[in-house]
Amino acid sequence: MTRVPLERKVLSENDRLAAELRQGFLQHGTLCVNLISSPGSGKTMLLERTLAAFEPDRRVAVLTGDIQTDNDAQRLARYGFPVRQITTGGACHLDARMVEKALEEWRPAPIDVLFVENVGNLVCPSSYDLGEEARVVLLSVTEGEDKPLKYPATFHRADLVVLNKIDLLPYVPFRMDLAREYIRRVQPDAEIVEVSCTTGAGLDAWRQWIEARYAARAADLSSVPSSGNGNS
């Protein structure tokens, strides 16, 4: 019997596909945002408010993942931007292969900002890179401020944490100072915005964050060698 080293990631196949997706997004100047939260935190509502505020000619699209139903795609399609549902049929997360397949079948026109709404789950999506440029985790104030400590694997990978439903703060025992402290402990580099998708409070800060990330992406694009060398 021999022991041979096998030094690679368990999800290396997912990571390989994610790297391809990331390269494609970079070449097309697409900002891809992976939205993660528990079910009912308001991912779809946040996207509805976000889409409603974009100019109609803005090149924005949404891939939305659910285990069953295309309810979210129907809700989001009302805003006039391309939307596609990924129904996982049981899987509790999206993986890079599902995103790649959806994009291949869909072939949307060039996109500036692609939102990927993950399956509602604070555990499983954390392990799967989708090729995104930014990972956004939503936490609503009705869930309790200790979620970052209970689900560190998810919060630890967040570039931005959106604290949603702040209009409900008077009615729930949610301590914003503790929530911010817990997020900081798990992910010191995460930015944080507080929003209410019902009243619209804080949504400007969220939109500014998207535009700043998009502008940074556009700057990356100008430093990418032109696609003249094709597929070589």
Partner 1 sequence: MHEMSIAASMLEAVQAESVQRGAHVLAVGVKIGALSGVDSESLRFCFDALVRDTDLAPLSLEVESLPWRHRCRQCAREFPVEDYHTECPQCGSPETEMAGGNELEFAYMEIEET
The tokens of 91 are what? Answer: 């899987």
x/- contact string, 152-171, with partner 1 (CB under 8 A)? xxx-x---------------
Is residue 12 part of the contact set for partner 1 (CB under 8 A)? yes
Which is nearer to partner 1, 151 or 214 (by Cβ)? 151
CA-based end-to-end distance of the chain? 42
CB–CB of 142/168 below 8 Å?
A: yes
Q: How far apart are CA 99 and CA 105, in angstroms?
A: 10
Question: Which one among 5, 89, 173, 228 touches partner 1, defined by CB under 8 A?
Answer: 5
Cα separation, 145 vs 166, in Å, equals 12
Q: Which stretch binds partner 1 (CB under 8 A): 9-17, 72-80, 168-176, 217-225?
A: 9-17
Start-end of H helices in 130-175: 147-150, 152-155
Q: Is 178 in the site for partner 1 (CB under 8 A)?
A: no
107 part of the interface to partner 1, by CB under 8 A: no
Interface residue with partner 1, options 53, 67, 77, 123 (CB under 8 A)? 123
DSSP assignment string, 77-116: HTTSS-EEEEE-TT-SS--HHHHHHHHHHH-PSP-SEEEE
Taking CB under 8 A as the criterion, which residues in 192-221 touch partner 1?
Answer: none
Nearer to partner 1, 149 or 221 (CB): 149
Q: Which residues sit opposite 114 in a β-bridge?
A: 32, 61
- Exactly one of 28, 87, 127, 221 binds partner 1 (CB under 8 A); that residue is 127
Is 37 a binder of partner 1 (CB under 8 A)?
no
Q: How many residues sit close enough to partner 1 to count as binding (CB under 8 A)?
A: 33
- Alpha carbon distance 78, 65 (integer Å): 17
Site string for partner 1, 62-101 (x = CB under 8 A): -----------------------------xxx-x------
Among 38, 50, 126, 196, binds partner 1 (CB under 8 A): 126
Can you tell me the distance from the alpha carbon of 138 to that of 160, in angstroms, rounded to the nearest whole number? 8
Nearest-approach distance from CB 25 to partner 1, in angstroms: 22
* Tokens matching residue 28: 């097309």
Q: How many Å apart are CA 210 and CA 113, to the nearest integer?
A: 9
Task: Name the residues that contact partner 1, by CB under 8 A.
Answer: 1-14, 91-93, 95, 123-124, 126-128, 149, 152-154, 156, 182, 185-186, 188-189
